[in-house]
Amino acid sequence: MDQLAPKGIKANRLAGELTIQWADGHLSVYPFSLVRAACPCAECRGGHDNMRDTPDPEVFTRPREDSPATRMTSLEAVGAYALTITWEDGHHYGIYTWSFLRALCPCPICRGEAAQGDSAWPKTL
Ligand SMILES: [Zn+2]
Ligand SMILES: [Zn+2]
């Protein structure tokens, strides 16, 4: 059983928020604009060489915006390991794995861990 597998995923279009309830009890609430800013596809990352399995720290400091690019049209599971999201502007190339989404959690606890370089934090080199 994957510890990272979410127990529940909800997209609230009115609030513009994606909510993930994780198997370990953690709750992540992502503004859509954050999820879109962190889109892990090659096009958004600027090429395959820049693709990694953790979000760019810069996405957390970007201002929230409301545009077709940050409005979620649909959400689909990819097997048991990831989500794909279709945005109103037609973009749907990002594959958000559970570990990526967990690393993208904007809550103070997760951001604090990232800042301290907690060993549980997914590392890329
Ligand atoms: Zn993308
Ligand atoms: Zn968190």
What digits encode the pLDDT tens for the residues 26-42?
A: 999 999 999 999 999 99
Q: Whole domain around residue 84: which residue ranges?
A: 6-116
> What does the alpha-carbon distance between residue 80 and residue 23 come to, in Å, rounded to a whole number?
13
The count of domains in the chain is: 1
pLDDT in tens, 95-120: 999 999 999 999 999 998 776 655 45
Contact 24, 3 (CB under 8 A): yes
Q: What is the mean pLDDT of residues 18-28?
A: 96
Ligand nearest the Cα atom of residue 37:
1
Q: Would residue 122 count as lying in a domain? A: no
The per-residue pLDDT for 122 is 52
Q: What is the CATH number of the domain that holds 26?
A: 3.30.2020.30
Q: Would residue 121 count as lying in a domain? A: no
> What does the alpha-carbon distance between residue 82 and residue 75 come to, in Å, rounded to a whole number?
10
Ligand nearest the Cα atom of residue 102:
2
Instruction: Compute the distance from residue 12 Cα to the ligand 1 centre, in Å.
Output: 21
Contact 123, 27 (CB under 8 A): no
pTM of the model: 0.86
| Residues around the ion ligand 1 (C-beta < 5 A) | 39, 41, 44, 93-94
Instruction: Compute the distance from residue 38 Cα to the ligand 1 centre, in Å.
Output: 8
Q: Would residue 125 count as lying in a domain? A: no
Q: Would residue 22 count as lying in a domain? A: yes
Q: Would residue 123 count as lying in a domain? A: no
Tokens of 7: 């127990």
